């Protein structure tokens, strides 16, 4: 859960997520889904700063779903702050 809150905190209500299948969700929908999961693999965090813009990339990989069933996926993400 801490990872979810840390992930959404910097952008507040403006967070938008585009999935691999083209589905776009906002902060409320994304938080609702992510709160049901427990992520244990959070790696390869890299932040690059260009003037007033920062780009962060990373990887979510392992965790458990709402039922406690383990999963192993590879989700790459990118955040941009301006």
Digit-by-digit pLDDT tens for the chain (82 residues) are 344 445 555 555 666 777 767 788 877 887 787 777 777 777 788 999 999 999 988 887 778 877 888 888 777 888 788 8
pTM, entire model: 0.52
Q: Exposed/middle/buried for 20, CB within 10 Å: 0-12, 13-18, 19+?
A: exposed
What domain count does the chain have? 1
- Cβ pair 70, 62 in contact under 8 A: yes
- Cβ pair 75, 59 in contact under 8 A: yes
Return the closest-CA partner of residue 75 out of 41, 47, 46.
41
**Residue-number span of the structural domain to which 52 is assigned:** 2-81
């Amino acid at each position: 859960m801490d990872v979810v809150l840390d992930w959404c905190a910097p952008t507040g209500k403006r967070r938008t997520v585009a999935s691999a299948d083209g589905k776009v969700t906002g902060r409320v929908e994304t938080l609702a889904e992510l709160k049901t999961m427990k992520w244990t693999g959070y790696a390869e965090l890299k932040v690059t700063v260009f003037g007033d813009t920062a780009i962060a990339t990373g990887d979510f990989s392992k965790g458990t779903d709402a039922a406690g069933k383990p999963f192993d996926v590879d989700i790459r993400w990118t955040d941009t702050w301006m």
